[in-house]
Amino acid sequence: MFSGKSEELIRRVTRALIARQSVQVFKPSIDDRFDRLAVASHAGRSLDALPVPTVTDLEAVVKDETQVVAIDEAQFFDDKLVEVVARLADQGKRVIIAGLDLDFRGEPFGPMPGLLARAEVVEKLSAICRCGRAATRTQRLIHGAPAHYDDPIVLVGAAESYEPRCRECHVVVREGRQTPLFAEPRVDGRVAGDERTTRSATAGRRLVPRRR
């Protein structure tokens, strides 16, 4: 993340529009962080896009006269995207795709491996890690702490944030989870909304909820 992939997609689509080419831009409907009807970059640029829930829906609305098909956040689609993109390319359409190649675990993300292997041109962008190195991975943080390996690949509505990290600074927790995934931790070591007895990670003492 934060490598400028959506910015690059917007730049390429803008050039196609300047060249008076017929363009359609798509994004997965699950991605509504900035604008539900647009591709948006962290730099603040945006481009109108059609949100689609599935790859089948995407292919169904591609017009015969369209010359350029642009797809943002491709990692959120399923593996059928590889076949659909191949069909579009065989029809003579130029397909521009932006997406994360690795998930928060540092493992191949969705259809991206298949897309990368079949693409004529691949440009791999990287952000800058907090240590100053090139960031090739995405660090997921839940309430400021590294996410657990067993967390869902895609989270919607959780208190999550992301940071670009290099290989050395990227952390994925594999031990037991100390707090439930969607719970808000409190200063006293307990979890909001959780009346079970928990163990303090620092003192190792038992904490018993007060009577109300």
User: Which residues are the active-site residues?
Assistant: 73
Q: Which of 53, 42, 55 is nearest to 10 (CA)?
A: 42
Q: Please name the residues in contact with 199: beta carbons below 8 A apart, sequence gap of 6 or more.
A: 178, 189, 205, 206, 207
Which tokens is 69 given? 């098909």
- Judged on CB neighbours under 10 Å (0-12, 13-18, 19+), 44 is exposed
The Cα–Cα gap between 94 and 5 comes to: 17
Q: What share of the chain is helix, strand, coil (3-state, %, to 5)?
A: 20, 25, 55
Give the phi and the psi of residue 5 in degrees, each rounded to 5.
Answer: -70, -40
Amino acid identity, position 49: A
DSSP 74: G
Alpha helices in the chain (DSSP H): 5-18, 55-60, 80-90, 112-118
